[in-house]
Amino acid sequence: MLRRLFIRDFVIVDRLELDFAAGFGALTGETGAGKSILVDALSLALGERADASVLRTGAERAEIAAEFDVEESSALADWLNRNDFDADAVCLLRRVVDAGGRSRATVNGSPATLTQLRQAGELLADIHGQHAYHALLRADAQRALLDGQIGATALAADTAEKFRAWRHLREARERAEQDVSAMAREKEMLDWQVRELQTLAFEPARWAEDNQEQRRLAHAASLLEGATAALAILDENELAVSSQVDEAAARLRSLTDYDETLNEPVELLEAARIQLGEATHALSRYRERLELEPERLAELEARIEAVTAAARKHRVAAEALPEVLAGLESRLEELALAADPAALAEKEQAAKGAYDKVAQKLSAMRKKGAAELSAAVTEGMQQLAMVGGRFEIALDALPEGAMHGLENIAFLVAANPGQPPRPLAKVASGGELSRIGLAIHVIASTAGVAPTLIFDEVDVGIGGRVAEIVGQMLAKLGRQRQVLCVTHLPQVAAQADWQWSIAKESTDGETFSRVNVLDAAARVEEVARMLGGVKITDTTRRHAREMLGTP
């Protein structure tokens, strides 16, 4: 569960450090005080995208850190170990966004990608925003919710992948049947290109060696002339350097008896004479080995020209020619298969069989899960003042299947007794949609793995007795998970195990968001404010105490 949240320079929060408790917690306050900002900050720590607009005015960077408990042998502990993050007793997610919109993330102190942050976030917290209900009107959101509820998200992704593979082969077969002559021409051209590159037998290592050898042979005459001239200067001319150094050393050596300080230059000259001798021998050996090889030079230049021409033809660097050859060979294999529609049809049928297998398994899970979720949401509707209402999940078969499976999924609802169920978007009013959506999300949350559930003003559009029931539902959920709820409803807040009040405060012309942890007396005042508005009377306080069950 969420233990601690640190926020600095985020929107109108300058600095907050909050310690969270277990159970059901309510976050209340006036509209615009910053209640949802806490949820937005936590969402950022859990991997939501961000830009520079989240920074507090004048700040250089915003920072959010969220600390969660890690249970031993949990899915989170396994994920941390698999991704080489320290799986300690806590999981610390940290996110920093600078004024340029760039962000950095860490998990337990180690750098993490945004994808890794999201993966960890999915195992830590499940956030339901106030606009989540409207997403339920979309078919893709309905399908995703059902698949998530029944644990079939991975199977649905596998079904989509196998559908794409099958359709690819189907389209290839159809093209093969429709345009045999065009493929024959392409195959002929590819055959010639592949043979040309295979004959060239290009090897990157050999290419470097050939270029080096070509440069040496192309300048062989200059190299020979240079080596010969150097040898003449060093040892072969009448005034050869070696002879003159020997003579200078001998003359100075004869004078050392008169002045020992000449020993040092004598030793240096003798060392120079030795090095000159080694240089002379090396140049002699080099000149003996150096040959003019016009035939070999012509051979190398012809090969280099052939490789260069091939690279120019395919518009790549010479080093990329092996990749070009591999691509041409792969395409040639495809065309060979395409030229045989029967073989292609066989592969297509095998891919269709693989798709049918996973899609049928997905359908079986959806059928069972749809019945269970329909019954549970229908029961929830009765509790939420929709007595006699009915919720159904229709699975409309698709004879040929689709990327998302063998059926379309539609959420249907009958808001009143005796009415036939119709699509959710066509029959639900704003208030009904809120109640149905809340029932769906509460029920779906019980099947999730996240230990922390966050509801951000999900009770919009309800009130009175229904609001009290919503509070009871969240309180019941809080006995199984940690539940945080941003709410304007006193009936919901009164059911919470603990409560915070969020308020705006102005200092030196700047506005900041502040969080107050409410004790029993302060909760009475806050719930009374939520009941009575600006003016709090003894009557509203008495009503607040009754709701809270405090004397």
The whole-number average pLDDT for the span 241-256 is 81
How sure is the predictor about 116, in pLDDT bands with cuts at 50, 70 and 90?
Answer: very high
| Residue where one domain finishes, among candidates 275, 299, 327 | 327
Q: CATH no. for residue 390?
A: 1.20.1050.90
In whole angstroms, give the CA distance from residue 15 to residue 56. Answer: 10
How sure is the predictor about 294, in pLDDT bands with cuts at 50, 70 and 90?
Answer: low
Which token pair is 330?
A: 């792969």
- Which of 213-217, 511-515, 540-544 is most confident? 540-544
471 and 511 belong to one structural domain? yes
| Residue where one domain finishes, among candidates 271, 300, 327 | 327
Residue 193 inside a domain? The answer is no
Question: Comparing 533 with 346, which gets the higher pLDDT?
Answer: 346
The whole-number average pLDDT for the span 335-340 is 66
Per-residue confidence (pLDDT) for residue 165, from 0 to 100 = 94
513 and 441 belong to one structural domain? no
The residue segments making up the domain with residue 350 are 131-178+341-453
Residue 160 inside a domain? The answer is yes
Main-chain phi, psi angles of 83, to 5 degrees:
-100, 15
Q: Looking at 99-108, 167-176, 237-246, which range is the least confident one?
A: 237-246
Residue 276 inside a domain? The answer is yes
Residue 308 inside a domain? The answer is yes
Per-residue confidence (pLDDT) for residue 498, from 0 to 100 = 95
User: Do 444 and 145 form a contact (C-beta atoms < 8 A)?
Assistant: yes
Per-residue confidence (pLDDT) for residue 134, from 0 to 100 = 65
Residue 465 CB: number of other CB atoms within 10 A? 11
∠ CA 173-331-203, nearest 5°, is 165
The whole-number average pLDDT for the span 235-244 is 76
Which token pair is 53?
A: 């607009």
Using CB atoms within 10 Å of the CB of residue 546, give its burial: 0 to 12 exposed, 13 to 18 middle, 19+ buried.
Answer: exposed
| Mean pLDDT value across the chain | 84
The whole-number average pLDDT for the span 300-317 is 82
DSSP 55: B
314 and 277 belong to one structural domain? yes
Question: Comparing 367 with 282, which gets the higher pLDDT?
Answer: 367
| Residue where one domain finishes, among candidates 425, 453, 481 | 453
Residue 215 inside a domain? The answer is yes
Q: Is the pLDDT of residue 342 over 80?
A: no
pLDDT per residue as tens digits for the range 142-187? 898 899 888 898 899 999 999 999 999 888 888 777 666 666 777 7
Q: CATH no. for residue 102?
A: 3.40.50.300
- Strand duo 2-10 + 452-456: pairing: unpaired
68 and 109 belong to one structural domain? yes
Per-residue confidence (pLDDT) for residue 235, from 0 to 100 = 76
435 and 494 belong to one structural domain? no
- Which of 143-147, 231-235, 281-285 is most confident? 143-147
81 and 169 belong to one structural domain? no
The whole-number average pLDDT for the span 248-252 is 82
Per-residue confidence (pLDDT) for residue 292, from 0 to 100 = 59
Q: Is the pLDDT of residue 430 over 70?
A: no
Domain count, the chain: 3
Sequence-distant (≥ 6) Cβ neighbours of residue 229 within 8 angstroms:
none
Q: Is the pLDDT of residue 12 over 80?
A: yes
Three-state SS letters, 443-470: HHHHCCCCCEEEEECCCCCCCHHHHHHH
Q: Is the pLDDT of residue 4 over 90?
A: yes
pLDDT per residue as tens digits for the range 441-478? 777 766 666 788 888 876 776 777 888 888 888 898 88
Per-residue confidence (pLDDT) for residue 357, from 0 to 100 = 96
251 and 168 belong to one structural domain? no
How sure is the predictor about 61, in pLDDT bands with cuts at 50, 70 and 90?
Answer: very high
What residues form DSSP beta bridges with 96? 63, 104
Per-residue confidence (pLDDT) for residue 492, from 0 to 100 = 92
Q: Cite the DSSP H helix spans in 6-152.
A: 35-45, 75-82, 114-124, 132-135, 139-149
pLDDT per residue as tens digits for the range 191-208? 888 888 888 878 877 887
Query: How is 309-348 classified by DSSP, letter by letter?
Result: HHHHHHTS-GGGHHHHHHHHHHHHHHHHHHT-HHHHHHHH
Nearest to 45 by CA among 132, 131, 120, 123: 120
What residues form DSSP beta bridges with 62? 97
Q: Looking at 314-318, 405-409, 436-440, which range is the least confident one?
A: 436-440
User: Do 25 and 496 form a contact (C-beta atoms < 8 A)?
Assistant: yes
Q: Looking at 97-101, 258-262, 272-276, 443-447, which range is the least confident one?
A: 443-447
Which token pair is 536?
A: 């709090």
In angstroms, the Cα distances linking 222 to 126, 218, 378, 497 are 77, 9, 95, 93
Question: Comparing 461 with 109, which gets the higher pLDDT?
Answer: 109
Residue 142 inside a domain? The answer is yes
Question: Comparing 439 with 290, which gets the higher pLDDT?
Answer: 439
How sure is the predictor about 431, in pLDDT bands with cuts at 50, 70 and 90?
Answer: low
Per-residue confidence (pLDDT) for residue 399, from 0 to 100 = 87
54 and 104 belong to one structural domain? yes
5 and 119 belong to one structural domain? yes
76 and 37 belong to one structural domain? yes
∠ CA 259-265-268, nearest 5°, is 145
Residue 26 inside a domain? The answer is yes
In angstroms, the Cα distances linking 542 to 204, 312, 463, 491, 494 are 87, 88, 20, 14, 13
- Strand duo 2-10 + 13-19: pairing: antiparallel
224 and 293 belong to one structural domain? yes
Largest distance between two CA atoms of the chain: 132
Per-residue confidence (pLDDT) for residue 455, from 0 to 100 = 85
In whole angstroms, give the CA distance from residue 492 to residue 526. Answer: 13
314 and 392 belong to one structural domain? no
Residue 192 inside a domain? The answer is no
